[in-house]
Amino acid sequence: MISKAKAQHADVLVVGAGPAGMAAAIAAATHGCRVLVLDDNAAEGGQIWRKGIAATPDRSESKVRDTRQATLRTAFRKSGAKLLPGRRVVDAPRQGILRTIVDTPAGPIAESFAWDRLILATGARERFLPFPGWTLPGVVGAGGLQALVKGGYPVAGKRVVVAGTGPLLLAVAAHLRHDGATVVSIAEQAALRRLVPFAASMWSHPAKLKQGIRYRRALADVPYRIGWWPVAVEKASSGILVRLTNGKHTVAEHCDLLACGFHLVPNTELAELVGCKLNGGAVEVNEQQQTTVAGIFCAGEPTGIAGLDAALVQGEIAGLTAAGQTQQLSALSRKRAKEIAFGQRLNAAFRLRPEVTLLSAPDTIVCRCEDVTFSRLQGHASWTAAKLQTRCGMGPCQGRICGPAVQSLFGWRPTSVRPPIFPVPISAFGNNDSDSLEELTVFQETQ
């Protein structure tokens, strides 16, 4: 049951303790602000620096990564910013207030946080596209499998096919191999004509280029199929069978696991809930990371997928601006522009080809939470109409998996975000001593 407590106050409240959130918190806290950082994980680092078993293809990269990560962690812990782990933001009941849920031995507890300035660093998630067999056991997100391995899931001796699109595929494959998996093949759906210009542009980012070369060298004997994508997965006596195609030819790969993901999509639900405007599916910000809502900043992947370096510089800019230190932004602004340009080239290179959005059969499940098939979605004119008739997007994931899928399949986008933005136990609102249910912001679906 929830106990009622006075809202904790922060000069700067940061949501997300990944690289962008850590950089923002350091910048604001070291300039005298009281900074609270909320994250639903047990420690800072986010998905990219999730604590767990090290999974790098060679010791030299591990040293570089650990040094960079350790430096930021040390600065974060010395900055004076206070990390509050295990907090999941579920509501923004009124201006300047966020509500979180945290699990305790006594049950879920609601907490409220008041802020003068808010920095959103909520990261991104994998995009999944439905195809026959994608819901079978053994089919898992590429980044999701990497996170499981860091948490102790054993892959030693397992045969893994890595497929989809984006630079994450190569990184995941190298990490899985380092942890003992047999990487059967890597299938990248992007066309060679898009990847060649992107690869050529990497000379202006030597650290990223070296990292990519290191990954590829670690996988030198693994087939790397450019312009190939998964079309079906079937059960097999020795695991699963993955069918890959390039549009002309098809190959079948026997494996234990298919690690599959079609690049990343920004996590924008909280930004939308507090009124921030989106542009092209990402949070709209200016050069100082200010959103369209006064006092609210956004940094990292929610503003557009651009990678670690972009997240770090954007986070620092957001933290400095929130602390009123705008005189320090000139050099950072140039780096910010360079990393945004890299992100634009990245997204252009790994743009989805039309074929991967046409893989669903009539009985292919699109919404896994509510078991909604592709045929049940056909004929509807909008996300709202489909949701009302099929419950697509109304399950526990709140459309986080099927939302990007139906956008790719039908061009639909959600028309609103309604609290709670994550599932909350009913006991969380069953106590008369808790904040009034009337404080829950109501967002009606619109056409």
Candidates 400, 347, 345; CA nearest to 128 is 400
DSSP state of 251: E
CATH code, domain with 223: 3.50.50.60
Q: What is the pLDDT of residue 321?
A: 97
Residue 12 pLDDT: 98
- Domain-located, residue 389: yes
E strand map for 107-190: 107-120, 124-126, 139-140, 159-165, 182-188
Q: What is the pLDDT of residue 445?
A: 41
Q: HSE on the CB side for 290, CA within 13 Å?
A: 13
- Cα–Cα distance measured from residue 19 to residue 309, given in angstroms and rounded to the nearest whole number: 9
In DSSP terms, 84 is beta-bridged to 38
Residue 288 counted as domain residue: yes
Q: What is the pLDDT of residue 429?
A: 59
DSSP tag of 415: S
Does residue 169 share a domain with residue 157? yes
Would you state the pLDDT for residue 441?
Answer: 43
Note whether residue 355 is domain-resident: no
Same domain, 142 and 79: no
**Are 110 and 146 in a shared domain?**
no
The pLDDT, as a whole number, for residue 431 is 46
- Domain co-membership, 285 together with 206: no
**104 in the same domain as 18:** yes
Task: Tell me the mean pLDDT per 10 residues along the chain, length 447.
Answer: 67 97 98 97 82 44 62 94 96 94 86 97 96 97 92 95 96 95 98 94 90 92 97 95 97 97 96 96 97 98 96 98 92 95 96 95 96 95 92 90 93 85 75 42 40
- Give the total number of structural domains in the chain: 3
The pLDDT, as a whole number, for residue 428 is: 67
In a domain, 329, yes or no: no
In-domain check, residue 442: no
Distance CA 162, CA 444 (A): 40
Residue 437 falls inside a structural domain: no
Supply the range of the domain harboring residue 49. Answer: 8-125+265-324
Give pLDDT tens digits for 286-322: 999 999 999 999 999 999 999 999 999 999 999 999 9
Which of 193, 334, 363, 194 lies closest to 263, judged by CA?
Answer: 194
What pTM does this model have?
Answer: 0.91
Residue 447: inside a domain: no
